Amino acid sequence: IAKNIVSYPVGNIVSASKLSSTSSDNQIFKAILNEEYNSITAENDMKMSAMFDGPGDYDYEAGDAIVAYAKANGLRVHGHVLAWHKQQPAWLGTFSGTDEEFETAVLDYITNTVSHFAQEKMTVNDVEVPVVASWDVVNETFESGATDNVLYQKIDDFVAKAFQAARAGDPDVKLFYNDYGIAGDPGKRNSIITMVNDFKSRSIPIDGIGMQMHLNHNWPDTDLPTSIQDIADTGLLVHISELDVKVNYEEDITELTKDRAAEQEAQFQRAAYYYHTLVPAAQQHGITIWGFRDQDSWLYDNNTDWPLLYDNDFNYKVSHRGFINGLKGQAP
Ligand code: G3I
């Protein structure tokens, strides 16, 4: 049982519709969630597309339902994601007001959303803590084309202002920058570290870095320890925020072969092992898996990839064993 092995949270993703569903599949999903995990991230329900209906017009219904479920079941919520150049409401791209009005609308949304979700508290080990412990403030700013988006075009120094707006919503919630490819792309990693140093020099608040870790079965070993060490060296919290392992990266197989299942097992073990051994305890924000059954994954695409820990009947795959062994600190 993942959560019982380690002292940092182990998470997975949810949606409000699955949490409220009484279908047998979703009953199994919830049983596994509650037994094996102690942290959740909303896969889509707490993004701008779901919550930001217009200037001053916010829809927190699905997010509130997720937080209520978490509170009732003693799960931490990691908020995802306040501002991203993807999954935006349509009105954002056609907003006809001034840039100043646009900036006010976006930054107010960020502040209000953090403040709204900071209200719910729960008691863990006799201590009252906020249910929503942390937020991804911005995702993936170094992706090619990201800065062509309205958020960047209309708001000068957008990423820094987003973090300031989030901090204005709550003094204590942990604020994360979240990105993919941190392990495989040293250039991006350096850009992120440069940004963190710039934020520190300007007193822009930032508490942590989310390493998404959408890995491949055949990713070189050395990238993981190097990148995890580099990110831990910032001194910030480190969250493996979206872990999954593609087995069909080259798109040349039609089923999960035994060899690739074994490589996937090893890759999950590496991710957990290096996180476990390289990130100092005080910086361990946890590891979040990006889905339950393979068929629920954003990568599944009509049975072309099988990136997760459970098969389509919710049975453990060998990847689950790898993940658990990594959490136990067993070297891959
Ligand atoms: O909600 C609509 C539904 O109304 C519509 O009928 C349907 C038709 O396609 O689409 C539904 O929206 C989909 C949404 O997921 C909810 O299911 C979008 O098309 C689909 O693009 C969206 O995909 C999500 C993706 O982010 C969007 O970029 C994935 O579920 C989600 O796993 C993925 O998560 C991202 C992280 O947030 C950031 N890091 C990368 C990660 C993987 O891409």
Task: Provide the residue-wise pLDDT of the chain in tens; the chain has 332 residues.
Answer: 889 999 999 999 999 999 999 999 999 999 999 999 999 999 999 999 999 999 999 999 999 999 999 999 999 999 999 999 999 999 999 999 999 999 999 999 999 999 999 999 999 889 999 999 999 999 999 999 999 999 999 999 999 999 999 999 999 999 999 999 999 999 999 999 999 999 999 999 999 999 999 999 988 778 999 999 999 999 999 999 999 999 998 777 889 999 999 999 999 999 999 999 999 999 999 999 999 999 999 999 889 999 999 999 999 999 999 999 999 999 98
Write out residues with Cβ below 6 Å of ligand 1. Answer: 43-44, 86-87, 139, 180, 212, 242, 298
Closest by alpha carbon to 318, among 248, 277, 269? 269
Closest-lying ligand 1 atom to the alpha carbon of residue 298: 32
Residue nearest to atom 30 of ligand 1 (CA): 298
Q: Cα dihedral sign for 299, 214, 81, 314?
A: positive
Q: Fill in the amino acid letter for 315.
A: N
Model ipTM?
A: 0.95
Q: Which residues are known catalytic residues?
A: 242
**Do the beta carbons of residue 209 and residue 175 sit within 8 Å?**
no
Give 281 Cα–ligand 1 centroid separation in angstroms: 33
| Element of type H or E holding 207 | none
DSSP 106-148: HHHHHHHHHHHHTS-EEEETTEEEESEEEEEEEE-TTSTTGGG
Closest-lying ligand 1 atom to the alpha carbon of residue 86: 28
Give 69 Cα–ligand 1 centroid separation in angstroms: 22
CA distances from 185 to 14, 64, 147, 189, 192 (A): 29, 36, 19, 6, 11
Q: What is the pTM of this model?
A: 0.97
Give 277 Cα–ligand 1 centroid separation in angstroms: 33
